[in-house]
Chain A
Amino acid sequence: MNAVFYLLAAITIAGGLAAILLKHLIHAALAVTVAFGGIALLFLQLDAQFVGFAQILVYIGAVAILIVFAILLTHGADLPEKGVFNKGWAAALVIAAAVFAVTGWAVLQSIDAVPQRNAAPVVSMHDVGNALVGRYVLPLEIVGLLLTAATIGAVIVAMHEKERSR
């Protein structure tokens, strides 16, 4: 919990808050990209090189682009007349607090599961690779299936119409 951690946490939280509070959608998308970058730097600060760079590669390099494409292609960049805040924000606050509580409880439980809490485990690329195809192969294959389904869906949506009604 040193100064670097606080700085990175401040960047991430600032990005997230800006993403919620900014009115212009593209600005909000760019702010959430800053938040992604902050998370990646937090991973790097914890010496998780693979996850940190994969976060940059995937989130900033692909997910952020996906978000801005989606905004642009659905005419979402115009300012809404009624304002950006939902009327049911109280219910949303409750749900968000519940999700945060569950996630926080899970994280705190997992800290107790690791025996040496103070020593940072040294995880190399090989360990990540071995874990992915050894212990976690089922989630890996399920994610692959999910991506295949998404790709097939994208191809079907963009496919040429068959020449049947000419």
Chain B
Amino acid sequence: MLGEGILKGMAETAKNFAGSFVSAERMTTVQYPEERIPAVEAARVFPILIYDGADWQAGLRCVACQICEKECPPKCIYIEKSKDKKPDYVGKPQFYPTRFDIDVSVCMSCQICVEVCPFEAIKMDNEFELATDDRFGGLLYDSEKLAKSNEYYHSIHPTEASEVDARLAEEKAKVEAKAKAAAQAAAAKPMAAAPPAAPDKDAEGGA
């Protein structure tokens, strides 16, 4: 209680003060916006929709199942389902969203939509410099703004994206193997029943 603790503390701060002028590794300040801390892979900010290929409307993985809309806690996703179908990555005809809006001023970055999506269609972006002065529409992102390519997804989350791609490729391979087996079975049966009708059945099975 004689004040030696205070003196030790003051020596410590004096060392910090003097050292801050001479040694650069003491100062951990990152002078934003000229410098930036490198982005961490698992960082997340707001959701994006992934599309495969070049055309975002044709390759959009989202099938408008509306599970993310129901699971979102602050209800910031608004989806309108289409009336017709288009084929997905394995060729199966699926619905697609005619309208997919996320209000990012409401979104709380909880990632629940990503966790429940069965089609790997919605993932988290890590871009945070999204400030806008348009108070009313600037933070309501429609599907065009949300759609980002698979290559972009690879660039921000490489390990995750490779894993997703591997899984999707595996499923596609499984579906194709099943289709080939079904086609072979369908081709084998008519061969045993009526040989003249075989070429027509073959053409139908392959299409």
A and B directly contacting (CB within 8 A): no
